[in-house]
């Protein structure tokens, strides 16, 4: 959509070529060697969603195994491999790259009015590194798989675990490079390719969060890379880094691992919070409340995220003083997180809220992340953590936090789907799918809070009969979620074939991507958009004829019509 | 040179004391029935007795060995004699460089030869020569040995090394008993005369000294690979010798006495990786900011 406003009329619709980034060229090679950030984003999305389905399948296998105590569908060895693969795939392959690599790649350059990212070739390279890392990780199934859990704790991983350890660790190492390259590309792109006149405080909040995430990615991921490299060296050459028998220190591995993996939680959550700011504002049709607070809280979360890894290790033998310090810093992270949540609430207050499917996902996130954050207080407090450590309470807590990200990823996919594909999906089915996921998720994991607080340890194949009811309810919830995901895949694929043509601006967004056609042309814009307030919805009006929102100057004294 | 003449007496072989049971006055007959019983008990407890025997250090090797005194000061100002019989001190010979100290005796038929051959092998593998970056002090702990013997030994080893320039850096020393004892005690080297075999009972130690004479490292074994020796010397030199790469390597790798070589240190490798990452990001971001400021200034100038 043209950005030059025409008073009292629909913004100019100059004759445009029908070429867009999807149909500008065709054939496998045109996708395989593309340098277009949008195509790379779409390829990431397809890959990540496929990996999500695989990780979800392993989750369903785990939950099915736990329907009864003792053997149900498999042996304890394979059960261990199932939950390890579920965790490793979901964390390293799906959630960490999910929003930045898929949605960020698609949206970032358009949102700053650029034609592409700063380093398109590096972007493609990082996608292929993601593919290679993923193939390495999944190839573990052929090598006996891995049974260490996604944390790869030593010396179990270096001495005892199955042979799949080497490919999975190599895979995570390669995925780390993909993550670093993406972060690097985003930082340079935001610095150098912003549209003329777009200052730092004119950036959409999603991009502030991507910038903060990119900093964490670049700073923290090398720590994981070096740690995994040391683990590989220990496993293959017998050099004693972590194995006490070889003079190593297993607790050092935990320090290294969590020094990355706790910030990794923010690599997952920060982009989700960025998407949330967009969704809440757009679907409340109201200017975002506390722009600068939200922007700076992203940076604050990114920085504080580096200082709290020790709360994963309260029972590892670290001193009480160190534990107390980590505990105290952990609590401080609640401040910037709460700033965001309260600003979203304030944005919604007196807003004209549309309960479209992306907004439903956003509201689900607020519920889920709220519970995830509050239960984090129990685990961040040393005294209660000792009781709850390594129980299902922890499992439920981190699922509430991490899967919150998945909810936003789904919200973001629905939000940008019309822009990506040029097609609208079936909205009632989308709402039903969101409902199934929300209900299924809470049934699955709220139950786990209860059994965890009663002492059910995580990762166990067998359990006392008193926990069977909890496990069965939890498994039933996971099947409901599975149904929701299958439904989602169904209507999204259906929309590609039979979906209604998407208007340029179906939701009423004010950021640049809604000012270009759906799907966007190869170079993103027909005309360079003019920078103004990207959260100002006063100029957006619903247009029946276009089937979406259009930009007009508000006539003097005219009331703004609401859709 | 009339040194320690009294010590020669030590070397007189003393006849073994007659200890045979038969030679002793007769065992009382009343004890005879207990003999089979005692044998049976002995057989019963043979296992434990054997274990005790295996654990015990042979009498000949008691009080022989090396007690590591890392960071202790070696007395550098004691008087020793060089291969020409001229009095000198370790400090003069070291000339402000780190040193490899070996304690041997030139008449040693076994261990010392092996140790010095091992050192020779290491030197052949090293690019550095004694005298340039470091010195080697081979000190005889037998106070009866003379400079003639030391000179012959030096000629033999330098001939084998095939580099005459090393003559200025590998010193074969002899000394009087007080100097030897002061030195060996300071470095924790204990040895004793075995009159039965007419040899000194001792162990092998390659000791690395800092330029100031502090003990920096004990290298075990009869042979050390060239890189271990080089790194030990770099470490002992306190940054005076070696390249930047050596210093960086030493930061990430520490000596592991169990393996007698340098092993990687996970924490420092991580620190190095972290430092490089942070520096790279800081440089990258700084250049981006500067570029952006320049662009903004140019845009303002054009607009103005």
Of A196, A226, A233, Cβ closest to residue B273: A226
Whether chain B has a CB inside 8 Å of the CB on A250: the answer is: no
- Point out the residue among A187, A188, A230 whose CB comes nearest to the CB of B266: A230
- Tokens, residue A164: 């799949």
Contact (CB, 8 A) for A407 and A364: yes
Task: Tell whether omega for the bond before A460 is within 30 degrees of 0, i.e. cis.
Answer: no
pLDDT digits (tens, 9 = 90+) for B183-232: 999 999 999 888 888 888 888 889 999 999 999 989 887 888 888 898 88
pLDDT at position A126, please? 94
Residue B257's closest chain A neighbor by CA? A247
B175 DSSP β-pair partners: B80
Q: How confident is the model at residue B22 (pLDDT cuts 50, 70, 90)?
A: very low
> What local confidence, expressed as pLDDT, does residue A247 receive?
79
B1 in contact with chain A, both atoms CB, cutoff 8 A: no
Residues facing residue B172 across a β-bridge: B138
Specify whether the CB–CB gap between A532 and A198 falls below 8 A. Answer: no
The answer to whether residues A22 and A519 touch, using CB atoms and an 8 Å cutoff, is: yes
> Rounded CA gap, A88 and A104, in Å?
22
A61 Cβ contact list (under 8 Å, min separation 6): A73, A74, A82
Chain A CB within 8 Å of residue B298 CB? no
CA-closest candidate to residue B72, choices B92, B96, B101: B101
Tokens of B97: 């460089």
Judged by a CB distance cut-off of 8 A, whether residue A256 touches chain B is: yes
Phi, psi of A232 (to 5 degrees): -65, -45
Q: What DSSP designation does A26 have?
A: -
- Cα four-point dihedral sign A429, A434, A437, A442: negative
Report the sign of the C-alpha dihedral through residues A360, A448, A301, B284, in that order.
Answer: negative
Residue B270 CA to residue B286 CA, distance in Å, equals 24
Least CA distance to B266: which residue of chain A? A241
Q: Within an 8 Å CB–CB cutoff, is residue A187 touching chain B?
A: yes
Q: What's the distance, CA B43 to chain centroid?
A: 44
Backbone φ/ψ region at B107: left (φ over 0), alpha (ψ -120 to 50), beta: alpha
CA gap A127, B215 in Å, rounded: 54
Rg of chain A over all Cα atoms, to the nearest angstrom: 24
B238-262 average pLDDT score: 76
Which residues does residue B65 pair with via DSSP β-bridges, in sequence order? Answer: B190
Nearest C-alpha neighbor of B207 from the set B66, B63, B61: B66
Is B270 within 8 Å of B264 (Cβ atoms)? no
Residue B234's nearest CA partner among B94, B98, B96, B71 is B98
- Residue A41 pLDDT: 97
Q: Report whether pLDDT(B2) > 60.
A: no
CB contact under 8 A, A252 and B292: no
B162 has a pLDDT exceeding 50:
yes
Nearest CA distance, B142 vs chain A (angstrom): 39
Which pLDDT band, with edges at 50, 70 and 90, does B13 fall under? very low
A75 vs B64: CA distance, rounded Å: 58
Distance, in Å, from the CA atom of A249 to the CA atom of A227, rounded to the nearest integer, reads 13
Say whether residue B302 is in contact with chain A using an 8 A CB cutoff. Answer: no
**CB-facing half-sphere around the CA of A24: CA atoms within 13 A:** 18
What is the maximal distance between C-alpha atoms in chain B? 128
CB atoms A226 and B285 under 8 Å: no
d(CA A105, CA A123): 9
Contact: A192, B292; criterion CB under 8 Å: yes
**Structure confidence at residue B261 (pLDDT):** 76
Contacts of A427 (CB under 8 A, 6+ apart): A356, A357
Q: Is B285's CB within 8 Å of A239's CB?
A: no
Per-residue pLDDT at B55 = 57
Interface touch B281/A227, C-beta < 8 Å: no
Check A256 against B266: CB less than 8 A apart. Answer: yes
Could you tell me if B277 lies within 8 Å of chain A, comparing CB atoms?
Answer: yes
Place of tokens 């496990």: A471
Element (H, E) at A106: helix A105-111
Positions of chain A with pLDDT lower than 70, given as ranges: 1-17, 554-563
pLDDT digits (tens, 9 = 90+) for A3-52: 333 333 344 444 556 789 999 999 999 999 999 999 999 999 999 999 99
B281 in A contact zone (CB under 8 Å): yes
The pLDDT score that the predictor gives to residue B235 is: 87
B291 contacts on A by Cβ (under 8 Å): 191-192
Complex ipTM > 0.90: no
pLDDT digits (tens, 9 = 90+) for B32-77: 555 555 555 555 455 444 544 555 666 666 778 888 888 899 999 9
Please tell me which residue of chain B has the smallest CA distance to A250.
Answer: B266
Q: What is the Cα Rg of chain B in Å?
A: 29
pLDDT at A535 (0 to 100) = 94
Q: How much of chain B, in percent, has pLDDT values that exceed 90?
A: 33
pLDDT value, residue B197: 80
Taking an 8 Å cut-off on Cβ atoms, the answer to whether A191 and B292 are in contact is yes
Question: Is A256 within 8 Å of B273 when comparing Cβ atoms?
Answer: no
Helices A165-192 and B266-303, axial angle in degrees (round to 10): 20
Instruction: Choose from B253, B262, B265, B266 for mutation: most chain A CBs within 10 A.
Output: B266
**In whole angstroms, how far apart are CA A367 and each of A141, A423, A441?**
36, 29, 11
Number of neighbouring beta carbons within 10 Å of residue A319: 8
Q: B81-98, pLDDT tens digit by residue? A: 999 999 999 999 998 999
**How far apart, in whole angstroms, are the C-alpha atoms of residue A170 and residue A172?**
6
Q: Report strand pairing: B135-140 vs B170-175.
A: parallel
């Amino acid at each position: 959509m043209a950005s030059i406003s025409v008073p009292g009329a629909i913004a100019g619709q100059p004759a445009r070529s029908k070429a867009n980034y999807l149909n500008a060229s065709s054939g496998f090679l045109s996708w395989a060697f593309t340098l277009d950030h949008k195509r790379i984003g779409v390829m990431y999305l397809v890959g990540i969603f496929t990996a999500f389905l695989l990780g979800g399948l392993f989750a369903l296998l785990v939950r099915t195994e736990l329907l009864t105590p003792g053997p149900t569908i498999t042996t304890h060895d394979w059960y261990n491999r199932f939950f390890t693969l579920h965790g490793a795939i979901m964390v390293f392959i799906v959630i960490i790259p999910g929003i930045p690599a898929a949605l960020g790649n698609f949206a970032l350059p358009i949102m700053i009015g650029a034609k592409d990212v700063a380093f398109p070739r590096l972007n493609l390279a990082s996608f292929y590194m993601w593919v290679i890392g993923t193939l390495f990780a999944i190839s573990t199934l052929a090598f006996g798989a891995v049974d260490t859990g996604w944390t790869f704790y030593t010396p179990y991983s270096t001495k005892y675990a199955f042979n799949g350890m080497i490919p999975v660790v190599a895979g995570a190492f390669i995925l780390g490079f993909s993550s670093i390259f993406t972060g690097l590309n985003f930082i340079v792109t935001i610095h150098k390719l912003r549209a003329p006149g777009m200052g730092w405080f004119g950036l959409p909040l999603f991009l502030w969060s991507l910038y903060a995430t990119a900093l964490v990615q670049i700073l923290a991921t090398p720590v994981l890379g070096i740690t995994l490299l040391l683990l590989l060296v220990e496993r293959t050459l017998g050099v004693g880094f972590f194995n006490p028998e070889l003079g190593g220190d297993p607790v050092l591995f935990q320090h290294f691992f969590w020094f990355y993996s706790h910030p990794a939680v923010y690599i997952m959550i920060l982009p989700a919070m960025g998407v949330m700011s967009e969704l809440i504002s757009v679907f409340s049709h109201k200017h975002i409340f506390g722009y600068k607070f939200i922007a700076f809280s992203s940076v604050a979360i990114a920085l504080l995220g580096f200082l709290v890894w020790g709360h994963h290790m309260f029972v590892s033998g670290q001193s009480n003083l160190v534990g107390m310090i980590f505990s105290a810093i952990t609590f401080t992270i609640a401040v910037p997180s709460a700033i965001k949540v309260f600003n979203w609430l304030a944005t919604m207050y007196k807003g004209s809220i549309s309960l479209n499917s992306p907004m439903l996902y956003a509201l689900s996130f607020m519920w889920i992340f709220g519970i995830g954050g509050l239960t984090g207080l129990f685990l961040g407090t040393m005294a209660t953590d000792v009781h709850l450590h390594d129980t299902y309470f922890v499992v439920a807590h981190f699922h509430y936090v991490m899967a919150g990200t998945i909810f936003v990823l789904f919200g973001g996919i629905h939000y940008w789907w019309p822009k990506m594909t040029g097609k609208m999906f079936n909205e009632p089915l989308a709402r039903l799918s969101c409902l199934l996921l929300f209900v299924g998720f809470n049934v699955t994991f709220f139950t786990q809070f209860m059994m965890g607080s009663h002492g059910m340890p995580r990762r166990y194949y067998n359990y006392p009969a008193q926990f069977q009811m909890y496990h069965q309810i939890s498994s039933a919830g996971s099947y409901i979620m599975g149904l929701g995901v299958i439904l989602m895949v169904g209507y999204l694929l259906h929309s590609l074939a039979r979906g209604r043509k998407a208007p340029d601006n179906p939701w009423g967004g004010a950021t640049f991507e809604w000012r270009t056609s759906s799907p966007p042309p190869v170079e993103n814009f027909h005309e360079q958009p003019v920078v103004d307030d990207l959260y100002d919805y006063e100029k957006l009006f619903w247009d029946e004829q276009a089937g979406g929102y259009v930009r007009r100057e508000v006539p003097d004294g005219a009331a703004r019509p609401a859709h | 040179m009339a040194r320690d003449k009294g010590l020669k007496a030590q070397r007189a072989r003393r006849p073994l004391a007659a200890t045979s049971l038969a030679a002793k006055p007769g065992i009382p007959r009343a004890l005879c029935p207990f003999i089979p019983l005692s044998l049976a008990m002995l057989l019963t407890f043979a296992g434990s007795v054997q274990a005790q025997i295996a654990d015990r250090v042979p009498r000949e090797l008691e009080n022989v060995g090396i007690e590591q005194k890392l960071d202790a000061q070696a007395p550098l100002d004691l008087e020793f004699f060089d291969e020409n019989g001229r009095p000198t001190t370790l400090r003069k010979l070291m000339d402000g460089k780190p040193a490899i100290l070996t304690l041997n005796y030139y008449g040693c038929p076994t261990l010392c030869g092996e140790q010095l051959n091992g050192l020779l092998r290491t030197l052949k593998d090293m690019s550095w020569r004694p005298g340039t970056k470091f010195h080697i002090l081979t000190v005889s702990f037998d106070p009866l040995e003379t400079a003639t013997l030391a000179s012959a030994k030096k000629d033999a080893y330098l001939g084998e090394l095939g580099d005459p320039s090393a003559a200025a850096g590998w010193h074969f020393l002899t000394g009087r008993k007080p100097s030897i004892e002061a030195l060996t005690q300071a470095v924790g080297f204990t040895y004793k005369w075995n009159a039965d075999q007419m040899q000194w009972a001792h162990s092998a130690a390659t000791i690395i000294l800092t330029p100031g004479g502090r003990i920096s490292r004990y290298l075990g074994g009869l042979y050390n690979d060239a890189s271990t020796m080089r790194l030990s010397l770099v470490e002992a030199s306190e940054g005076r010798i070696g390249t930047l790469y050596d210093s960086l390597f030493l930061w990430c790798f520490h000596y592991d006495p169990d393996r007698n070589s340098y092993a990687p240190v996970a924490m420092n490798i991580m620190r190095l990786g972290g430092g490089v990452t942070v520096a790279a990001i800081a440089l990258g971001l700084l250049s981006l900011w500067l570029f952006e400021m320049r662009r903004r200034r140019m845009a303002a100038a054009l607009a103005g």
